[in-house]
Each structure stands twice: as C-alpha cells, then as structure tokens.
Chain A
C-alpha cells in the first residue's frame, strides 16, 4: 500500500530529475555494475542534458532506459560477463543499441509479423489509394441506374457487380475506407478511455477501485452485441454514432487489464521511492505507472482495433451498419449472404477474405508487439 505522506510542496524541476533518476535506478533492477561503466556512462552528453542529477550522483548510472542500453555498456566487447545477455550479442559494434532498435530487431525476427504488416499495409493502401487507380463511382446513386445487377466478374467489373449494380471491387475499397477508419478510431477511443479508467482504478485503489470495478462487472455482464443492438435501436445509427457507440462501449475489458498493471506498478519499489521523495500522484502516474504499463496499452490497443472492426461488421451484418450509399464490410456481407443462394460468390467471398485477413493481420501484429515489449522486461 502507498504510505500516507504529509502533503509537500510541489517538487521543483531539479527535484523531479533526482526523483526520476533514483526511481529509474530501482526500476532497472539491481544488476551490479563495475566502476568503469559509470565513468563511461556518466560521460555521455545525452545523459547530462537529460538528467542534471547525474552530475550530482556519479553512482546513478542507468538513468534512462530509453537512451542508454544497460546491457551493452557493461560489456562493450561482447566477451561475456555480468551484464552480457542476448541483446548485447545483437549489437556488433561497441555503441549501445537504443531500446527502439532492439525492439525493432525482435519485431523483424518475427516473420509472421512482417508478413502481416506487409499484407495489412497493402490492404490499407489498396482501400485508400486503389479508388484512384481503379475508378468507380460509389457515391452517386445515379451511376447505378443503368448498371447490370449481379453481373459476374468481367473486364469492365473485375469482381462483378452487387445486387444493386455497384462495382464490387470498388465497393470493397470504399467499404474498407469506412470499416478501417471507423475501426481504427473506435479502437483508439476504447484504449484511451480504458487506460485512463483502469489507471485511476488501479492507482487509487481502495474504495475507488472497488466502485469502478463493480461498474465494469455490471457492464461486462451484458452480452456485447445485444447492448450494441439496444443502443443502435434507440439512437439513430449515423456514422458518427456508430463510431461513438463502439468507442464508448468497447473499453471495459481494456480497463481491467490496465488496472491490473497499475495496481502492480503502484506498489513496486520505484513508485514508492518516488512517493517517499515527495512526488505527487500525478507525477508518479505520468512518469512511472504509465510508462511501465505501455506494453499492455499498445498490445491491448492493437487488439481493440480488431475488435472494433469486428463489432462494426457484426452490426453491419445484422443490418445496423452504415447507411447507403456509404457502406462497410459487414453491410456488404449482409447483402452478399442474401444473394449466396444464387451462387453469386463474388458478392461475398472477396470481401469476406479481405475482412478476415485484416482481422488476422491485426491480431498477429498484436501478438508480435507483445513479444517486442518483452525486450524491456528482459532487460531488468
């Protein structure tokens, strides 16, 4: 539990730096370091610029994990010893490898993740740039007046037309713009709200935590799709509303995960140390709790985007999606299912494949990101 401390003056910038330096040292664990390392590290200009405390306390070496890799300097030649680990081996030069480079390397070693990123980029580019290369009119209902409905794929319509005469390939790209944009921003909203709520709940603990989490219990007890349908049937389902309803209802699970992180980090030595030196609660959250739960924020955020796209498509599939003439992938699949009995495969399989591939790619990327953040954990 956080010890109750008398209220102090707001720490000055120098105080803050000292607090951070001390806390970071605790944060990075108690790997023993030889005196030689100190000399080398304290000498780096970046450290001095970032942390005046270094000048005061030469012993405080590992100042900022974002700037200095703690593994490599301990063993610059890579000949093994106390601080040597697999990340030291990654760097062939004596220069310390920045953390982001290590993370990138772990990410790039994951072939499935690279493939997913590549495929996802192709699909996103296809949806946003494609319509300029493969020009079809998807917004003007007059353009489909003379069109043939349910035309099979041909040179004029690469993927045929749907049951209203819209060009199917153009429709996939146009629907993708809506599905991806709405999914991305709704996912973003869920993770922002989930993070703030979860942090508040976990950090303040006690009765606040109990109340906030009981609210989440109640919210999670309503099966999600039923809740969405209830909300959509009461409020008008405009595009903005769909964005808001998915964004404002999708964060409950997220907040639980972030709360778990905040609860654990709040009681770790470095947070207690910062508090004992007079850091305000806001400061501890900003500088210690949030940065150390960033891995879950990012991975959960990635999955949230997939979940938001799924929720939007589920709504579209049961007929509560984006209104005509705009369209989303779920609505397209809804219309496609109705024509499936006629064996008009081009109206549903292409869009379903693109849709499932997008969800799969985002989930794979989320999995890979989780591994990437393990780098930080292993450093300690």
Chain B
C-alpha cells in the first residue's frame, strides 16, 4: 500500500513539474518574448534605461534554466505564480479571490450530478434493455453531445428570460460564500454544470453495474435464494460503488472546463471568467497561473481517486505493490 502511494505521489509530482515547465516555457513565446513585462511597464517611453531597469528588477534577463528553477521553487514553496503586470497584483493574490468561487459551483455540481447519475446508472443497468433503459441511454447520449454553452443558453432563455424564475447571473459581490446566502442566483449555472456531468457519469455507472451483474457471486446470491432487493443492495451496489470515487476524480477536468464556459455565459467571476478576461487583456502570467492551478486540482483529484480506490479495493493495491 505504501509503495503504491509513493509511486502515485511521484507520478503526480512529475506531472506537476512537467506542466509548470510547459507553462513557464510558453511565456517565452508571447509577443516580445520573456522581456514583454518590461516593455509593458515602460509604456510609452520605452528607453533602453527604463527597460533594463525593469529587466533587472524582475530578473527577466537571467538565463532560462535559472529563471525556471526560481519559478518552480517559488510555486512549490510560496505558491508564488508570478506577477500579473496588467492587473497590478500578484497572480496568487488574484486567484485567491476566484478559486473559492469556482470551487463552490463545481462542488455543488459534482454533488448533485453524483446524487442523480449514480442511482440512474444503477437503475438503468438493473433494468437493462427495458424501455426505461433505452430512453435514459438515448437521453444521456444526446446530453453527452450537447456542449455546455448550448445547454446553458437554453436554460438561461427559458428560466430567466421567459419564465423569470431564476436570475440571469449569480450575485457579483466578491464574497466566496454567496452561494449559501443567495442560492437562487446559482441555480442556473450549477444546473448547467450538473447536467453536463450527469451524461458521462451515468454511462460509466451503468457499465460498471453491468460488469458486476455478470459476476459469479451475483449468480450465487440468486441461487441461494436472495430476493432481488437483497441482490441489488447487498451484492451489486457494494461492489459497484467503489468506482464512484474514480468518476468523481476524473470529472474534475470536465467540470473545470465546463465552469470556464458557464462562468462566461452567466457572468460569474470565477477562475474561468478570469482566464478569459486575463486572456483578453494579454495578461499571460495570470492565464498561465490559472492553468497551473486547474492542473493541480486535476492531479489532486486523480490522486485522491486512486488512493480511495486502493483503500476500498485490495486488488488494486496488491497489483500496484507487485509492479
């Protein structure tokens, strides 16, 4: 178990370092290259003295590897993602405002999606090849093909512009806890994100339960006279619920990408909105900082899923240890 944990942790660390290296290198490709911030800060009087001053101040002229090491060290120790020159703040300072806001809508979307998709997937597999199964499979297939923005604007049009039951955008104050104080404003964005995740999750759950249902122990349970209720709750669900932690872990990148679209559509200032805003400003360092943050979220999600699965399922950790 310990060997498995260490191996997974090292893999996660490698992924993070690789992504930080990638985003760091990307900043060299912006217009005017690595010294772009100096040109921006000097504004209209781009004298050599002014530019050199800023280059010295921020160490922009140092060799590539030295700068990369400094950056990596800064991210690892102080979570220092650099300076957002165009929004006159540190990137981590900016992100501190936006991370909780995105976290809460993603959290609730994940919660509701799991609460709906897991029973749906189990029921579909249990009643496989029934009319209900076909209808649900068809519906999730269509939902799976509908992108976030189409679903979002349809919900917006119906529930906000026509029926007038939910506001078109969540509260704009920077309070991270707004979702608890004014939940009505968050119904549409969270619903959009939830619907997005349901499609993939219920398909996954259905196939997981179908795999369990053909196992010998299910047949044994039936043979020894268990009622179908007992077979479902005692034998099938216990074995099929383990993979839920996997889907929750794997949903994180989908949720975050979905959040980017949803935040843009509903004007909700979270990570996604800030990405688009910073990108429009040409604030490369903020965009790259956010990319690192969402990657960390994904890596942690995957890691947590793997560890939880290893705790729940001895086969995983034994196989992992012997490798």
If A234-B30, A341-B168 touch, does A314 touch B284 (CB 8 Å cutoff)? Answer: no
- Contact indicator A229/B19 (Cβ below 8 Å): no
Are A229 and B145 in contact, CB atoms less than 8 angstroms apart?
no
Is the C-beta of A223 less than 8 angstroms from some C-beta in chain B? Answer: yes
Which residues 82-116 of A sit at the B interface, judged by CB distance below 8 A? none
Q: Which of B150, B161, B276 contacts A319 (CB 8 A)?
A: B276
Answer yes or no: B89 CB below 8 A from chain A CBs.
no
9 nearest A-B pairs in the assembled complex, by CB-CB distance: A233-B279, A218-B18, A225-B257, A223-B253, A223-B256, A218-B15, A317-B149, A359-B145, A360-B145
Is the C-beta of B153 less than 8 angstroms from some C-beta in chain A?
Answer: yes
Is A363 interfacial (CB-CB < 8 Å)? yes
CB-CB under 8 A from A336, the residues of chain B are: 153
B290 within 8 A of A: yes
- Does B225 have its Cβ within 8 Å of any Cβ on chain A? no
The answer to whether residues A224 and B257 also contact, given A217-B15, A230-B288 and a CB cut-off of 8 A, is: yes
Asked if A134 is at the interface of the complex by the 8 Å CB criterion, the answer is no
Q: Is B63 an interface residue (CB 8 A)?
A: no
CB–CB A226/B260 < 8 A = yes
CA of A341 to CA of B164 in the docked complex: distance in angstroms? 11
The DSSP consensus for interface residues of chain A is helix
- Chain A residue at smallest Cβ distance from B254: A223
- Enumerate chain B interface residues (CB-CB to A < 8 A): 11, 14-15, 18-19, 22-23, 26-27, 29-30, 141-142, 144-150, 153-154, 156-157, 161, 168, 252-254, 256-257, 260-261, 264-265, 272, 275-276, 278-280, 282, 284, 287-288, 290-291, 294-295, 298-299, 302
Contacts of B278 in A (CB 8 A): 233
* Cβ distance A229 to chain B, nearest Cβ, rounded Å: 5
- Asked whether A310 lies within 8 Å of B26 as measured between CB atoms, the reply is no
- 12 more contacts with CB within 8 A, not counting A340-B156, A363-B144, are A218-B14, A218-B18, A221-B299, A223-B260, A225-B261, A232-B279, A235-B29, A314-B261, A318-B261, A337-B156, A337-B265, A356-B146
Q: Which residue of A lies closest to B263 (CB)?
A: A318
Question: Are the CB atoms of A229 and B299 closer together than 8 Å?
Answer: no
Q: Would A221 and B302 count as touching, CB distance under 8 A?
A: yes
**Do B302 and A234 touch (CB < 8 A)?**
no
In the complex, which range does the number of interface residues on chain A fall in?
35 or more
Taking the closest CB of chain A, its distance from the CB of B215, in whole angstroms, is 23
Q: B26 to A363, Cβ gap below 8 A? A: no
Is the pair B279, A229 in contact by a Cβ cutoff of 8 Å?
yes
Contact (A230, B26) CB under 8 Å given A214-B11, A340-B156, A343-B161: yes
Q: Which residues on B sit within 8 Å (CB–CB) of A221?
A: 15, 19, 253, 295, 298-299, 302
The minimal Cβ–Cβ distance linking B307 to chain A, given in whole angstroms, is 16
A363 to B137, CA, bound (A): 14
Is A313 close to B, CB under 8 A?
Answer: yes
A319 to B22, CA, bound (A): 24
26 A-B pairs whose Cβ atoms sit less than 8 Å apart in the complex: A217-B11, A218-B15, A218-B22, A220-B253, A221-B253, A221-B298, A222-B291, A222-B294, A222-B295, A223-B260, A227-B291, A230-B23, A230-B287, A230-B288, A233-B287, A234-B284, A306-B145, A310-B147, A314-B261, A318-B260, A337-B149, A340-B161, A352-B153, A355-B150, A356-B146, A363-B141
Contact A356 B299 (CB under 8 A): no
Determine if A223 and B298 form an interchain contact, defined as CB atoms under 8 angstroms apart.
yes
Complex alpha-carbon distance, A330 and B149, angstroms: 9
A223-B253, A233-B279, A348-B153 in contact; A214/B142 too (CB < 8 A)?
Answer: no
Residue A215 is within 8 A (CB to CB) of chain B in the complex: yes
Cβ of B145 and Cβ of A356 under 8 Å apart? yes
Separation of A234 and B29 alpha carbons in the complex (Å): 7
In the complex, residue of chain A having the shortest beta-carbon distance to the beta carbon of B298: A221
Q: Chain B contacts of A227 at CB under 8 A?
A: 291
Q: Find the A residue at minimum CB distance from B138.
A: A112
- Quick check: is A129 within 8 A (CB to CB) of the other chain? no
Q: Which residues of A contact B284 (CB under 8 A)?
A: 233-234
Partner of A229, one of B14, B29, B157, B287: B287
Please determine whether B161 and A223 come into contact, CB atoms closer than 8 angstroms. no
What is the distance, in angstroms, from A60's C-beta to the closest C-beta of chain B? Answer: 38
B257 lies within 8 A of A223 (CB): yes
Q: Which of A225, A229, A306, A356 contacts B150 (CB 8 A)?
A: A356
